[in-house]
């Protein structure tokens, strides 16, 4: 390069440096506009640059150019088989874990145990008509007076409905009376062979309940409260917080925290639900599902100690058993 060309190149370089410094001193918006103009001016030139065409065997050339140690074919096959087995084993473990999570299985090694208390259902029959009149009047018991076969007066004189079970079947006060899966009342007084029960609408009836919605075939619990009879055709549901989504048509069922029943025991349905100003609870009225005028066969629901647990204690206390000897 001669002196003249070198001087020209130096001047061009200095000019570009001056332009660069001037561009750096411009505001951000101005720099952006200049950049876009330069991009538009250079676009036709860039399109004219021919693209580099790589040969089709360049990848093979690059791979073959890298030094690789030689491995026996049988060793490579063994590595492939081992990797496939490892992948298959991991996939099986992953599927097993996913199945366990979906089924919510308890993988802890726990010994199965019997509950101490369990629900007890006893079939009974509601006394009505002439049979109830004769029972209350004592005509059925006159022949047994010499054998002290007499019912207690407070049961016979009760104004509540009667069933044909009493202390002889270990019926207790406040046991629930069911007709199918519908709760129709609650045991009031227990006699020797019969008991009186108060209906759901009785002013003394009390029962812990839950408010449930039926979504298709699934029951959904939305709140709990206490069902009170008021002596009229409807019942009052109390102590349900006003944040619970209660609506007319919701079902009122027995509160079952132990999940003893696969299906809920129904008491009625919500007819009205309102909230007064500054009240933390709903004011709810419930229409009972039970219709006693058509009910004859009923069940008495109570709780009992599991016979299996009692048998276990008896076997431990028997003399001569291994458990009894170990206790000594």
Which carries the bigger pLDDT value, residue 105 or residue 228? 228
Per-residue pLDDT reduced to its tens digit, 162-205 = 888 888 888 899 999 999 899 999 998 888 878 888 999 999 99
Which carries the bigger pLDDT value, residue 295 or residue 249? 249
Domain check: are 280 and 161 in the same one?
A: no
Beta bridge partners of 198: 186
Q: Per-residue confidence at 207, pLDDT binned at 50, 70, 90? A: very high
Domain check: are 240 and 228 in the same one?
A: yes
Task: Give the domain extent around 222.
Answer: 201-289
**Does 139 fall in a domain?**
yes
How confident is the model at residue 142, as a pLDDT? 47
Q: Does the pLDDT value for residue 149 go beyond 60?
A: no
How confident is the model at residue 3, as a pLDDT? 62
Q: What domain count does the chain have? A: 2
How confident is the model at residue 282, as a pLDDT? 93
Domain check: are 246 and 262 in the same one?
A: yes
Domain check: are 142 and 188 in the same one?
A: yes
Q: Does the pLDDT value for residue 262 go beyond 50?
A: yes
Considering only CA atoms, which of 189, 161, 167, 152 is closest in space to residue 122?
A: 167
Domain check: are 196 and 295 in the same one?
A: yes
Provide CB contacts within 8 A for 164, sequence distance 6+.
Answer: 124, 125, 126, 127, 193, 194
From 73-77, 170-174, 194-198, 221-225, the region with the lowest mean pLDDT: 73-77
Percent of the chain whose pLDDT exceeds 90: 24
Domain check: are 168 and 300 in the same one?
A: yes
Per-residue pLDDT reduced to its tens digit, 300-314 = 988 878 777 777 666
How confident is the model at residue 71, as a pLDDT? 52
């Amino acid at each position: 390069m001669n002196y003249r060309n070198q001087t020209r190149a130096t001047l061009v370089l200095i000019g570009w440096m001056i332009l660069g410094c001037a561009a750096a001193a411009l505001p951000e918006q101005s720099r952006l506009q200049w950049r876009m103009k330069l991009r538009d001016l250079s676009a036709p030139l860039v399109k004219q640059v021919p693209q580099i065409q790589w040969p089709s065997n360049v990848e093979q050339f690059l791979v073959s150019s890298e030094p690789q140690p030689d491995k026996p074919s049988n060793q490579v096959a063994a590595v492939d088989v081992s990797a496939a087995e490892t992948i298959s084993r991991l996939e099986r473990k992953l599927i097993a874990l996913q199945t366990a999570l979906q089924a919510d299985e308890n993988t802890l090694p726990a010994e199965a145990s019997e509950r101490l208390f369990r629900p007890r259902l006893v079939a009974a029959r509601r006394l009505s008509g002439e049979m109830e009149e004769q029972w209350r009047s004592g005509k059925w018991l006159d022949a047994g007076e010499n054998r002290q076969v007499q019912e207690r007066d407070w049961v016979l004189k009760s104004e509540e409905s009667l069933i044909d079970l009493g202390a002889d079947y270990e019926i207790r006060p406040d046991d629930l009376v069911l007709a199918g899966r519908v709760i129709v009342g609650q045991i009031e007084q227990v006699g020797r062979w019969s008991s009186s029960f108060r209906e759901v609408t009785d002013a003394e009836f009390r029962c812990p309940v839950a408010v449930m919605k039926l979504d298709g075939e699934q029951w959904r619990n939305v709140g709990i409260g206490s069902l009170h009879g008021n002596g009229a055709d409807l019942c009052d549901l109390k102590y349900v917080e006003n944040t619970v989504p209660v609506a007319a048509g919701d079902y009122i069922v027995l509160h079952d925290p132990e999940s003893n029943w696969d299906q809920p025991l129904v008491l009625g349905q919500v007819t009205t639900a309102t909230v007064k100003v500054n009240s933390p609870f709903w004011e709810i009225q419930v229409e009972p599902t039970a219709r006693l005028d058509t009910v004859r066969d009923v069940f008495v629901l109570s709780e009992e100690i599991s016979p299996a647990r009692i048998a276990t204690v008896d076997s431990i206390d028997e003399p001569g058993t291994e458990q009894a000897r170990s206790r000594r």
